[in-house]
């Protein structure tokens, strides 16, 4: 018996709008260094760079150069504070629960493949009430590889008991699209995430504007793959 089809999701900017909590932590850490807070509208487009990238860009925006080793120390503080405050203002995007439940009702398995650390990812998804819907939740530290390395995606699928030949990736950034393309897996991009460039520039197979469109998009891509 062949494995069920599987939909694999990114987390930040795809399943959940995490920007306010990430930027609040960023500004707390930067503020302790005398750096003015970054406005949410400016910082949200930096989120795909990760915590270190956010800190580096915070210094750049203030016209400051971080002393050697300082970014790593601030990154440790960032992770510690964020881990305790990761679901203050974070919310699922509209339609997420309905889309996940529709996929499961139609026989799909689900997984998460994110460059967020695994513990933070699991804790956040538990706080949001959807962790139990996923056969695997894999972060940047789950395997020796992380997106855009395609092995992060293929190993997530394997851990979830899925088959890469019957998989679709759903994400919002270059790393999501690049990992899927390198793995030969079709990819749906959401238009409302945190890419640092327009998501269409990365060449996803389909782009959706709302999770209500997801099931049809996934069905179409899997049908094309099977043809």
Q: Which residues pair with 116 in a beta bridge?
A: none
Q: Check if 201 is active-site.
A: no
Render the chain in DSSP notation, one character per residue: -PPPPEEEE--BTTTEE-HHHHHHHHHHHHHTTTPPPPPHHHHGGGGGGHHHHHHHHHHHHTT--PPTTHHHHHHHHHHHHHHHSTTSS-EEPTTHHHHHHHHHHTT-EEEEE-SS-HHHHHHHHHHTT-GGG-SEEE-TTTSS--TTSHHHHHHHHHHTT--GGGEEEEESSHHHHHHHHHHT--EEEETTS--SS-GGGG--SEEESSGGGHHHHHHHHHHHHH-
Report the C-alpha gap between 23 and 54 in whole angstroms: 9
Residues carrying an active site annotation: 10
């Amino acid at each position: 018996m062949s494995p069920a089809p599987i939909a694999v999701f990114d987390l930040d900017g795809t399943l959940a709008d995490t920007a306010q909590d990430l930027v609040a932590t960023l500004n707390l850490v930067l503020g302790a260094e005398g750096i003015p807070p970054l406005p949410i509208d400016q910082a949200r487009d930096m989120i795909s760079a990760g915590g270190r990238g956010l800190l580096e860009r915070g210094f750049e925006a203030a016209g400051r150069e971080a002393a050697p080793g300082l970014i790593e120390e601030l990154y440790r503080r960032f992770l510690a504070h964020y881990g305790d405050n990761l679901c203050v203002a974070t919310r699922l995007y509209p339609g997420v629960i309905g889309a996940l439940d529709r996929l499961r009702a139609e026989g799909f398995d689900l997984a998460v493949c994110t460059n967020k650390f695994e513990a933070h990812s699991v804790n956040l998804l538990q706080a949001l009430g959807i962790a139990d819907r996923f056969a695997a939740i894999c972060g940047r530290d789950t395997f020796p590889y992380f997106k855009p390395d395609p092995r992060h995606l293929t190993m997530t699928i394997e851990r979830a008991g899925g088959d890469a030949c019957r998989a679709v990736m759903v994400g919002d950034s270059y790393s999501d699209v690049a990992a899927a393309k390198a793995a030969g897996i079709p990819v749906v991009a959401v238009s409302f995430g945190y890419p640092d460039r327009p998501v269409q520039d990365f060449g996803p197979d389909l782009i959706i504007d709302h999770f209500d469109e997801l099931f049809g998009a996934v069905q179409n891509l899997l049908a094309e793959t099977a043809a």
